[in-house]
């Protein structure tokens, strides 16, 4: 569990850093001692993990055999694999085969086989990126598909574990936990890799071998960002025909023209290239340059080059924090190897890719304020593809430019981006859709609104009583209540009946990770807010801060100051109890013990899982 992080704490750290001016002598001393992080940056590295909860839940370090490279027998990287939700649903159904008639058993097996005909969604990040950047898209699509992602060697959770240096109080915190053997395999992989292994074509070959090893008979949809878009273009061409249904390209770099060199470095101006050549031979100087690029921390050029600046203060500072944390995660030597090895895709490669897409459709998206890969690059790619029609290559490009968004679109406009991608993929009619999942559930069980562990759900207390602080009654009262998820077909706990029976409830925050087992559109008066969190894992700092913001905004919107905001996950016990307790502690000044006791009395048996209770004490009292 990381230290407690709040917006006020973050502002305090930033103000302290801004008031401390590093002298030239001090910076040179840090350079000579290979200690290029400020005290502020070290605190950020410790406070803010680089990854997110969905990565924590589904990650593992995997080793894949690599052929045709005598020096590199295997590559070991951090991966994410999230199974199609119907796989778990089918397993639960098949456990009760004795209760099923033969006809239903046949239906179950047929539907299970059908899932393996659906494409796997594969996520490919860009230069200096990591799979956690795709968090809003992963959350949006997890309920209707198989998903696979990797942190490319040297980035994200595939970075060198040896970068952690206790002697310099340098710790790159992450939510994901890997064994010592896992970390040794990652370190060895990076030791074994040569400079040529970071060249684009070699990375494409590596990803090709990984996908063929992991999913030999599956089709794919590639979702990629920045440099990853050019890797995906080349990867489509590397795979056999018929293997790729479509591609989603976010903020792509420019496609190189026939008269241009494919190397990004060789297409740069002479002065810039000379500096980069110097950095290649003396990467420590690049580290030194990056120190000044990060001057002013959250408000540094290194942050503002990637995000749109102009949101509300609290949204903005959390976004800045995440971008700074990702920037700090990037190792200079690894970054330079990828940069010098990067060969842009050509117009011919783009045309060849278009011919190989089964759907003859693709999604292209860029932020209008992108400073790294300006929107003109995306517009040129769109026009180029539309021009291929003259050569008989007909492909439909769904193009979207996003206002108030820079290169990190997933930070600037996460919900809009995730929703747009979901609707595009759903429109491919490949049964990657929450609607199709509900239809299959209905076909198998007879009820598309079916719940996991329905018997247990029936026994859980439906809704809590208002929480009171028995130990310190003078402290502010809580306007949060907890409940289990609604069910559309339940006789009592359904949206219409709930809204009628509970005029005291103004809004519902659904923190479940799944598609809700009810239709929120049935609410007329109650405001519904979806805020996805992961089951079985304690919410991280950013999740907690954003939840508190949502609650504060809802409470401000109430017409009646006596109305409540209801919160639910599936059963309304562990995640719900944890987040409600965080609110009671941080916003109302209750102690941890008072909060846990009040929740237990109002919705017995309270927070059941001990690691959720322990996490509260670690966060607020350690």
pLDDT given at position 352: 97
Q: Which of 294, 318, 339 is the last residue of a domain?
A: 339
Residue 136 placed within a domain: no
Q: Return the percentage of the chain with pLDDT > 90, whole number.
A: 73
Task: Band the pLDDT of 488: cuts 50, 70, 90.
Answer: very high
pLDDT tens per residue, range 404-435: 999 999 999 999 999 999 999 999 999 999 88
Per-residue confidence (pLDDT) for residue 262, from 0 to 100: 87
Q: By the 8 A CB rule, do 460 and 572 touch?
A: yes
Burial 22-56 (b: 16+ CB within 10 A, else e): eeeeeeeebeeeebbbbebbbbbbbbbbbbbbbbb
Q: How confident is the model at residue 274 (pLDDT cuts 50, 70, 90)?
A: very high
Same domain, 330 and 472: no
Contacts of 517 (CB under 8 A, 6+ apart): 449, 450, 451, 485, 486, 487, 488
How far from 504 is each of 345, 465, 563, CA to CA, in Å?
Answer: 58, 12, 5
Query: Does residue 486 or residue 559 have the better pLDDT?
Result: 486
Range of the structural domain that residue 589 is part of: 454-621
Q: What is the pLDDT of residues 146-197, one digit of tens each?
A: 999 999 999 999 999 999 999 889 999 999 999 999 999 999 999 999 999 9
**What pLDDT shows up at residue 30?**
75
3-state helix, strand, coil in the chain (%, to 5): 50, 15, 35
- How much is the pLDDT for 152? 99
Angle, nearest 10°, between helix axes 39-47 and 7-19? 160
CATH of the domain at 593: 3.90.190.10
Tell me the CB-side half-sphere exposure of residue 468, using CA atoms within 13 A: 4
Domain count, the chain: 2
Co-location of 458 and 334 in the same domain: no
CB atoms within 10 A of CB 19: 7
* Position 309 in a domain: yes
Q: Which of 87-96, 204-213, 557-566, 605-614 has the highest mean pLDDT?
A: 204-213
What does the pLDDT read at residue 102? 66
Q: How many CB atoms lie within 10 A of CB 186?
A: 26
Alpha-carbon gap, residue 310 to 288, rounded angstroms: 29
Tell me the pLDDT band of 1, cut-offs 50, 70 and 90. very low
Radius of gyration of the chain (CA): 26
In a domain, 509, yes or no: yes
**Rounded Cα–Cα distance for residues 375 and 369 (Å):** 8
pLDDT for res 2: 45
Q: Does a structural domain hold residue 548?
A: yes
Which one of 292, 315, 339 terminates a domain?
Answer: 339
Position 607 confidence tier, pLDDT thresholds 50, 70, 90 = very high
State whether 590 and 464 are in the same domain.
yes
Higher per-residue confidence, 498 vs 86: 498
Lowest mean pLDDT among 7-11, 492-496, 523-527, 581-585: 7-11
In a domain? residue 522: yes
Kindly state the average pLDDT of the residues 285-309. Answer: 93
* Residue 266 binned pLDDT confidence (cut-offs 50, 70, 90): confident
pLDDT digits 0-9 by tens, 55-76:
999 999 999 999 999 999 999 9
Residue 195 lies in a domain: no
Q: What is the mean pLDDT of the chain?
A: 92
| Residue 603: inside a domain | yes
Instruction: Give dist(CA 123, CA 121) in Å, integer.
Output: 7
The last residue of a domain, from among 312, 339, 366: 339
Mean pLDDT of 354-371: 97
Tell whether 333 and 461 lie within a shared domain.
Answer: no
Give 441 or 320, the one with higher predicted confidence.
320
**Residue-wise pLDDT tens digits, 16-38:** 888 877 777 777 777 777 788 98
How far apart CA 86 and CA 78 sit, in angstroms, is 25
For 584, the 3-state DSSP assignment is: helix
User: pTM higher than 0.85 for the full model?
Assistant: yes
Tell whether 402 is covered by a domain.
no
Q: Is 164 exposed, middle or buried (0-12, 13-18, 19+ CB in 10 A)?
A: middle
pLDDT, residue 441, reads: 78
Question: What confidence score (pLDDT) does residue 186 get?
Answer: 98
């Amino acid at each position: 569990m990381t230290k407690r992080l709040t917006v006020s704490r973050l502002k305090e750290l930033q103000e302290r850093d801004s008031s401390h001016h590093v002298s030239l002598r001090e910076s040179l001393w840090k350079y000579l001692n290979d200690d290029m992080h400020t005290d502020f940056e070290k605190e950020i590295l410790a406070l803010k993990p680089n990854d997110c909860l969905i990565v924590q839940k589904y990650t593992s370090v995997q080793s894949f055999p690599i052929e045709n490279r005598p020096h590199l027998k295997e590559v070991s990287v951090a991966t994410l694999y999230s199974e199609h939700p119907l796989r778990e649903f089918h397993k639960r159904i098949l456990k009760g085969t004795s209760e099923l008639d033969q006809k239903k058993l046949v239906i179950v097996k047929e539907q299970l086989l059908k899932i393996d005909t659906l494409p796997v969604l594969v996520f490919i990040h860009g230069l200096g990126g990591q799979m956690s950047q795709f968090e809003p898209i992963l959350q949006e699509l997890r309920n209707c598909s198989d998903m696979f992602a990797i942190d490319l060697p040297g980035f994200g959770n595939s970075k060198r574990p040896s970068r952690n240096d206790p002697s310099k109080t340098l710790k790159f915190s992450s939510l994901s936990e890997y064994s010592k053997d896992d970390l040794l395999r990652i370190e060895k992989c990076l030791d074994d890799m040569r400079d040529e292994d970071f060249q684009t074509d070699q990375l494409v070959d590596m990803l090709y071998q990984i996908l063929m090893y992991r999913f030999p008979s599956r089709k794919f949809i590639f979702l990629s960002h920045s440099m990853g878009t050019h890797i995906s273009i080349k990867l489509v061409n590397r795979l056999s025909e018929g293997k790729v249904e479509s591609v989603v390209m976010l903020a792509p770099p420019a496609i190189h023209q026939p008269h241009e060199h494919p190397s990004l470095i060789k297409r740069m101006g002479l002065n810039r290239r000379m500096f980069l050549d110097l950095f290649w031979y003396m990467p420590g100087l690049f580290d030194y340059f990056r120190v000044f690029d990060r001057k002013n921390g959250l408000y540094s050029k290194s942050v503002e080059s990637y995000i749109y600046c102009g949101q509300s203060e609290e949204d903005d500072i959390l976004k800045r924090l995440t971008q700074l944390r990702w920037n700090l995660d990037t190792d200079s030597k690894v970054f330079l190897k990828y940069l010098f090895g990067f060969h842009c895709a050509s117009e011919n490669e783009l045309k060849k890719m278009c011919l190989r897409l089964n759907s003859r459709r693709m999604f292209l998206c860029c932020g209008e304020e992108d400073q790294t890969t300006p929107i003109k690059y995306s517009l040129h790619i769109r026009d180029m593809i539309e021009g291929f029609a003259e050569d008989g290559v007909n492909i439909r490009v769904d193009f979207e430019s996003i206002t108030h968004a820079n290169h990190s679109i997933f930070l600037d406009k996460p919900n809009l981006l995730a929703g747009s991608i979901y609707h595009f993929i759903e429109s491919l009619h490949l049964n990657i859709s929450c609607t199709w999942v509900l239809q299959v559930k209905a076909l198998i069980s007879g009820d598309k609104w079916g719940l996991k562990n329905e018997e247990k759900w029936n026994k859980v207390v439906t809704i809590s009583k208002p929480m009171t602080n028995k130990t310190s009654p003078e402290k502010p009262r809580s306007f949060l209540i907890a409940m289990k998820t609604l069910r559309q077909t339940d006789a009592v706990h359904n949206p219409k009946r709930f809204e009628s029976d509970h005029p005291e409830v103004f809004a519902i925050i659904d923190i479940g990770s799944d598609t809700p087992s009810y239709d929120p559109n049935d609410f007329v008066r109650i405001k519904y807010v979806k805020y996805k969190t992961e089951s079985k894992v304690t919410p991280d700092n950013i999740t907690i801060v954003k939840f508190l913001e949502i609650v504060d905004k809802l409470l401000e919107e109430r017409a009646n100051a006596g109305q409540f905001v209801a919160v639910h996950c599936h059963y309304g016990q562990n995640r719900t109890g944890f987040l409600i307790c965080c609110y009671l502690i941080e916003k109302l000044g209750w102690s941890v013990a008072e909060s846990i006791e009040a929740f237990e009395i109002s919705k017995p048996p309270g927070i059941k899982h001990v690691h959720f209770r322990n996490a509260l004490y670690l966060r607020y009292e350690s």
